[in-house]
Chain A
Amino acid sequence: MSVLLAQGVEVTAGEAWTFWLLAPIAVIGALGMVLARNAVHSALWLVLTMLALGVFYVVQSAPFLGLVQVVVYTGAIMMLFLFVLMLVGRDAADSLIETLRGQRAAAVLVGGGLAALLATGTYRWLEGTPAAGLAEANAEHGGNTEGLANLLFSRWVLGFELTGALLIVAALGALMLTHIVREPGERLSQPEQMRARFAPGNYPAPKPGPGVFATSSSNTTPAKLPDGTASPRSISPILPIRELTAAEAADKETER
């Protein structure tokens, strides 16, 4: 430990607490995302994982990336996911039928093996390696954000410009893909709607509400015309028309 401290590594007790508290939460969020049947629940589990990762960035002396993680990932990208989920796949639960037989079990098996190999391999490779720490690099230009800006606008300025172009192209592409072209004349104009309403054979006034002049205010009761017959225009066509017989309509003497 004294060797690590001499190397300037900033692993404190607070960071240890943060890690051992949030690492299981991040893993639980990831597992919950994969296992949740409902896609909206998946998105919310992923938000949990991303928030935990944002805290890890801040702890690892990357406060700018931590804030970008919260604002861009959980704030913008995941909310975009939720918007699209509400429009598209909200009720689409995954089918339990496998297209390839045994694919899920094989995937879990291979994934478990890969996780064990990767995690133990990197753990053993890096175990005990002293971290140089970013205190010096961050302090060089007065802070983490300033240091990142210095790199972005000098060494990586071409990549920065290219990602800017990429974002514009992506926004235009999304607009082009989701745009619906409406032919002129596809939708009736207001004068056309008005002429159709007053055309001969059409009744221009509002339809009678259900239950008007009737003994009940239920919307399954037809409106009565002034001559006492039921108005067919007040009845939904999907409802079967049924008149009570005299015996059914008679007083059952249930109230005394």
Chain B
Amino acid sequence: MPGPEHYVALSALLFTIGAVGVLVRRNAIVLFMCIELMLNAANLALVTFARLHGDLNGQVMAFFVMVVAAAEVVVGLAIIMLIFRTRRSASVDDSNLLKY
């Protein structure tokens, strides 16, 4: 029988997969998707804790995370489009002008 511990463990697993994806991948859009996965994993933990405590505030937090994620995606994708337009590349390794 899956209890809260199973859901939180799954959430931890998904979060780490997203974190490893951010470290491993180079395409800026895939990086963004990995961040979305991490946010979703956090949401799963929030919903589980809401059920654990019998308190709806956790679900409200998950709702706010979703709204902020939507705003973040819109601005982030616009920035990626802008970088692609000037550099013709979506790879985060190519944006290294500030390094020198």
Contacts and interface: CB of A to CB of B under 8 A. Distances in A.
Interface of A: 1, 4, 9, 11, 13, 15-16, 19-20, 23, 26-27, 30-31, 33-34, 39, 42-43, 46, 49-50, 53, 56-57, 60-62, 64-65, 68-69, 72-73, 76-77, 80-81, 84-85, 87-89, 92, 94-95, 99, 103-104, 107-108, 110-112, 114-115, 118-120, 122-129, 131-134, 136-138, 144, 147-148, 151-152, 155-156, 159, 163, 166-167, 169-171, 173-174, 177-178
A129 B53 contact: no
Contacts, number: 258
A110 B100 CA distance: 29
Closest 10 CB pairs of A and B: A132-B54, A111-B20, A89-B90, A107-B23, A118-B12, A170-B71, A115-B16, A126-B5, A34-B21, A19-B2
A42 B78 contact: no
B64 to A, nearest CB: 6
Contact of B77 (A81, A112, A134): A81
Interface in B1-48: 1-10, 12-21, 23-30, 32-34, 36-37, 40, 43-44, 47-48
Contacts of B5: 122-129
B75 interface: yes
B93 A99 contact: yes
Contacts of A60: 7, 47-48, 50-51
Nearest to A27: B13
Given A39-B30, A107-B20, A111-B19, A177 B75 contact: yes
Interface in B56-79: 56-57, 59-60, 62-64, 66-75, 77-79
A123 B9 CA distance: 6
B6 A23 contact: yes
Contact of A53 (B44, B53, B54, B80): B44
Given A9-B3, A110-B20, A118-B13, 5 more contacts: A27-B14, A60-B50, A122-B8, A163-B68, A174-B77
Nearest to B37: A30
Contact of B23 (A33, A69, A111, A147): A111
Contacts of B72: 170
Contact of B66 (A72, A87, A120): A72
A148 B50 CA distance: 12
Contacts of B71: 163, 166-167, 169-170
A23 B93 CA distance: 34
A33 B37 contact: yes
Given A27-B14, A127-B5, A174 B51 contact: no
Contacts of B78: 173-174, 177-178
B40 A62 contact: no
Contact of B26 (A94, A123, A173): A94
A137 B56 contact: yes
Given A128-B3, A167-B71, A178 B82 contact: yes
Contact of B52 (A73, A132, A163): A132
Given A19-B2, A76-B70, A159-B64, A49 B57 contact: no
B27 A166 contact: no
17 contacts: A4-B3, A23-B10, A33-B33, A34-B20, A49-B37, A57-B44, A68-B66, A73-B40, A80-B74, A84-B81, A94-B26, A94-B91, A125-B5, A131-B51, A136-B54, A174-B75, A177-B81
